[in-house]
Every structure is written in structure tokens, then in C-alpha cells.
A and B are shown apart, each in its own frame.
Chain A
Amino acid sequence: MPSEANLGAMPFDEETRTALEASRREGRALTETERAIVGAEALTPLEAIERSRQSADRADHAPGSRQPMIINLGPQHPSTHGVLRLVTQLDGEVIRDLHPVIGYLHTGIEKQCENKTYWQAITLVTRMDYLASYFNTAAYTMAVERLLGLEVPERAQYIRVIMMEINRIASHLVWLGTSGLELGAMTMMFYSYREREKALDLGEMIAGDRMNTRFFQVGGCADDIPQGFEQRVRTWIDELPGHIDTWEGMLSTNPIWVDRTRGVGVLPADELLNLGVTGPVLRAAGVDLDLRRANPYCGYEHFDFQVPLGTAGDSYDRYTVRMREMRESARIIQQALDGLPEGRHIADDRKVVLPPRGELATSMEALIHHFKLVTEGFTVPEGESYVAVESPRGELGCYVVADGTPKPRRVHMRDPSFVNLQALRPMARGAYLADLVTMIGSLDNVMGGVDR
């Protein structure tokens, strides 16, 4: 990497120059990441080739004597699961250092939420981690409910659990398909997406949209489950364990799959915890931390399920943990359908909850409530709350600061993808470049959640 002193002599492109100017504007030196990006962009491709050739000529066989080659992966790269950019420094095929550059999907959702009313913001938070949209809305609505002191009916909580677990399976299916595709098991993609289509059909049936529904409302769910829904869910989850058996039969003892995942991306459990990593990645390292079990919400304490754990903490263990989690999710859905209590699907509080559609034609009061809620929204008393749920990727927390107006003062999502991605750098140092693909796949980060 060029030092800062000799950067001045190098030809710069526009982005590099402005980065330097920005650091001067703030009166500070370039930081490590900035230097890495500037280093990656300072040379034209031809100059970079020439430089590595000179360096190879000079180097002897002692390790570390060569200049690192800087390779820029992404933001458009087929195996980075979105628009992740990695500035990697390579010594041959070994990664010496790696700087993730994120923000290519930064959507400004948190700022936008501050300019919307509480119930309008539900639509926006859905689109953060788009593979776990039900979890986003669950964390957000639960944070608002906590500030309002609103009780959610038990039936609504059960429906939430059903939808979240369906969503968890659907999200794990994307992970299974894409990481299978990247490691040469292309068939997995077709099998897992076939099942995912059925999961999305269920979402469509209950809320009218396949992916980004705003089915969870403050106070409960937008509607009760439709007729025939229960039967379709049962058919789907009855078939699922059989399908998982098939997939495991194709992967678990497959020599290519095992060789490419065993011992790849290992970090000790305490280091993972210090890095804030949660979810299947942490559980694969043997740490029994599942918020559904540790701090039950939405009535998870009523269900009997296991928290799958790994031992080695490598990519293979992450694979087995996720596969077993899908089975457990199917079990939870089964129990929730069996024990679905009677009652309302949403709280009966006219100050917060929209009146039923049917009443609008007959009741003047309902019409007024509806009008006031839609135009002004509801006010939330001053305070702050942080609610965390166990999303498919780990602890998904929502921090809401209310200032007594109909609009939130601050909505912040603690997204597990964002935090888990930090572990990539310590994981990848000293590993082979080809294993980087396995590591990214096993972290299962969603860039929409990383950049928000």
C-alpha cells in the first residue's frame, strides 16, 4: 500500500482526490480504510500490473517480501450477496488484509422514518433487511407498542410467530440456494427456491404481497388469517422436513461441500461475542444465545423447540445449524397452528388501531377515528425503547425515541448483517481468496440490512 507521502506523486481519479480533500477539510489525516480505498483507486489497471510485476521481480522466497497485490472485489460481484465491496490485499492467493466498503445501498430509511408518522414508517422499515421483512416490522411495532403500553392480543402474537417462522425458513432458503450456487452445488438453488415460492405464496395469501408486506401493525396484525391458510401452511410444513432430508443427503457428506466449508471462517466464541456477532454464526461456535429462548417475546415461551448448536464454529457448522433451525421453525409453526387461541387479531384501541373496514359505512365515530389516524397518526408519549428479536441472522434490535409528537424522533435498527459483517476481516486474514466466498456466504449478510 502506498504511504501517504508518495500518494501526492500518483495520478488520482476524481473520487480519490475528493476523499483527500474531505479529510483535509476536517483537518485530519486519512484513516486506515480511507488509505486502503485511495490505494486501490490511485493506480490505473495497467500501472497496477506493472507495479506487481516489478514487485515480483524484486521479491525473494521469504514470506512477506512481496508487495501485496490489491484486488478490488465488488460492488458488483456475483458472490458478495449484493453490493458489498472488498478491497483485498493479496500475497499470492493468501489474503493479507481486507477492508469491507459498504454503503452502496444506503437508502436513508432512518432519516425518512423521522419524517413520517409512526404507522407510515412501518412500510419503510420493511425494506431494510428485505429477506427478513416480518422481523423488521415486528421489532419496530413492538418498540412502539412498548412505548404506548399497548397490550397485543394473544391470537395476534401467535399469528406473528407463524409469519416470522415462515419468514425465517424463507430467508434460510435464500441462504441455502445462493451459497450452494457459489460453492458449485447449483441444484440447491432450484430446490430451495421451489420451496421458497410456496412460502411467498403464503405471504401473498395473508397480506397480498410476496415479500415486503406491512402485515404487522402497531397493536397486532392487519387482518385475521384467511380461510384455507391454515391448511396450506400445514401441507407446506409437513412436506418440508422431507425436502430438508433430501438436501442434507446431497450436501452433508458431499466431499466438495465438506472440503470447502470444513475449517473455513473459524473464530473463537469469545472473539465473536466481542465482535457483536449473534445468530447462527455465534450458535455454530457453541454459544447458546437465542433471544427466543433467552428473552421470550410474542409468546415464544409457550413453544417447545430446540436451539441448534455447533461445536467447531466453521462454515460447515453454520450450515448444519441453519438446516436444523428450519426443522425447528417448522415445529414451532405446527405448535402455533395447533394452539392458535380465539380472539381478536389486533388490539381494541381506537386511538391507535384503524377501525374495521366494515364499520366505516355504518359508524360516524369509526369514520372520524379512521380519518384522524390516516391524516395525523397517533401520538406516542415521550420516551425511548429498544426491542430485540431473533432474526434469521441474529439479534435485530429496534431503537425508537419518541418526543410526544405523531412522528418518531429517531428510529434506529441494530441490524445483525451490519454487525456480523465486521467479523469478515478477522476471519479472512491469512485465508485463501477462494475461501472468502464461503465466508461471505456463511455469514449470510443482506446488504439492505447492512446499509439501510
Chain B
Amino acid sequence: MALIPPPGSPIERAPRTDESIDRDLREVEEREFEKGLLTTTIDKAIAWAQTGSMWPATFGLACCAIEMMHVSMPRTDIARFGMENFRASPRQADLLIVSGRVSQKMAPVLRRIYDQMLEPKWVISMGACASTGGVFNNYALVQGVDKVVPVDVYVPGCPPRPEGLLEGIMVLHRKVGARGQKSNADLRREALAAESR
């Protein structure tokens, strides 16, 4: 017996598309809703929880750090997104906001802080200096923090306005919330595993 059935044979079915799964799920949801229950997938539930309280590390570098502080202050108020809790210990943080220029002297420290953070973790590169070195193209600075840690979202500006950082955080939330989307840390780890194999 052939393992792969010939085309047109009765056992071959059309692959189920995402829409059809969603339709089925919706039917289940509607049935269960009448009983007072909500159904969802584990992925969605985890993503919802993760975006609801993503705690940033207290990691201020330069000018951008001041604008990062403004994000948690009354006008922009990051507490609306459950993120006002800046953690001093990297082990309690989910999000590393690299807020400012990273010097050659600071790069190993930054890497160590990133390594100390627990999975899952995300990185926002805030401002021109962290993203590309900015106007300081010289011996002292790392030209882009993505040489040291994997970055999920880049926020442009010198420094970005608090609203700009907030938009970056929203983009990250959408990224985490989207089903099947992996963080850049995951992708890098998978690539490294494939290389070593």
C-alpha cells in the first residue's frame, strides 16, 4: 500500500484553512456562550496574559531613559496597560527597554542583564542611538544594540516622545498577541539550534 495516496483518492481531504478552524471555533464559542462559558485557545490565553502585565526592567541609559520615565507618569500613564511596575531586578522583568546609547563598556553588562531575564522576554530598542548608533558613529558606541541582544521592536526618535515609546509597546503587544508569532529571541535560539545540529 502506497503511503501517499494518489490524487483524487477518497481519503485525501482539502487542508483545513485558518478560516474554517475559526468558523468551527466560533460555532463552539456561540454554543458555549449560551451556557455562560467562554472558550479560547491556550496560545491566545497566554498571549492575553502576557500583554496584560508585561513588566519592564528599570534599565535607563541616557536621554531616552528620561522619556521612558515620562511614559509611566500622569500624562501618558503606562499603568493603563498594566506596565507601570518597573522591576529593578532583571529576573522579575519581561521586557528590556534599551533606552539610550550603548557604549562598548556597557555592552557586556547589557548582555548579562538580558541573560538574567527569564523566558519569555522581549527587547525594545528605544531611540536612534540604541537602534543604529544615531549621530554618534564612533569608537565608543555599539552601532545598534541588535549586535548584542535580539530586538523585537525599534522605536525611532532622538529621543522618542513618550507617545512614540507607547506606540512601540503597542506594536510589541500586537506581536505577542498574534497567534504563532515568535519573539526574536525564540527565532535566534531556533536558528542556533539548527546550526549546531
What are the residues of chain B within 8 A of A196 when measuring CB–CB? Answer: 70
Do A108 and B141 contact each other (CB < 8 Å), given the known contacts A75-B109, A78-B58?
yes
Could you list which residues of chain B lie within 8 angstroms of chain A, going by C-beta atoms?
A: 57-63, 65-67, 69-70, 73-75, 86, 88, 90, 100-101, 103, 105-106, 108-109, 113, 135-141, 158-159, 161
A127 to B159, CA, bound (A): 10
What are the residues of chain A within 8 A of B74 when measuring CB–CB? Answer: 190, 193-194, 197
A-B CB proximity, top 4 nearest: A108-B140, A130-B63, A193-B73, A108-B138
Flag if A210 contacts B67 (CB, 8 Å). Answer: yes
Do A212 and B159 contact each other (CB < 8 Å), given the known contacts A174-B66, A197-B75?
yes
A111 to B103, CA, bound (A): 14
Interface bin, chain A: 35 or more
Flag if B161 contacts A210 (CB, 8 Å). Answer: yes
Flag if B63 contacts A106 (CB, 8 Å). Answer: no
The number of residue pairs between A and B whose CB atoms lie closer than 8 Å in the complex comes to 98
What are the residues of chain A within 8 A of B58 when measuring CB–CB? Answer: 76, 78
A451 to B105, CA, bound (A): 11
| Contacts A108-B138, A111-B139, A112-B135 known; 4 new A-B pairs at CB < 8 A | A76-B113, A82-B62, A107-B62, A210-B67
| Residue contacts A-B, CB under 8 angstroms, 17 given | A76-B113, A78-B58, A78-B88, A83-B61, A106-B103, A106-B105, A107-B62, A107-B103, A107-B138, A108-B138, A124-B136, A177-B69, A189-B73, A197-B70, A210-B159, A210-B161, A211-B67
Is A40 an interface residue when CB atoms closer than 8 A count as contact? no
- Across the interface, name the chain B residue whose C-beta is closest to A174: B66
- Across the interface, name the chain A residue whose C-beta is closest to B70: A193
A451 to B69, CA, bound (A): 21
Is A55 an interface residue when CB atoms closer than 8 A count as contact? no
B140: min CB distance to chain A, Å: 3
Do A105 and B161 contact each other (CB < 8 Å), given the known contacts A76-B59, A111-B138, A212-B63?
no
Is A103 an interface residue when CB atoms closer than 8 A count as contact? yes
Is A257 an interface residue when CB atoms closer than 8 A count as contact? no
Flag if A105 contacts B63 (CB, 8 Å). Answer: no
Do A105 and B101 contact each other (CB < 8 Å), given the known contacts A75-B109, A130-B66?
yes
Do A82 and B60 contact each other (CB < 8 Å), given the known contacts A104-B106, A190-B74?
yes
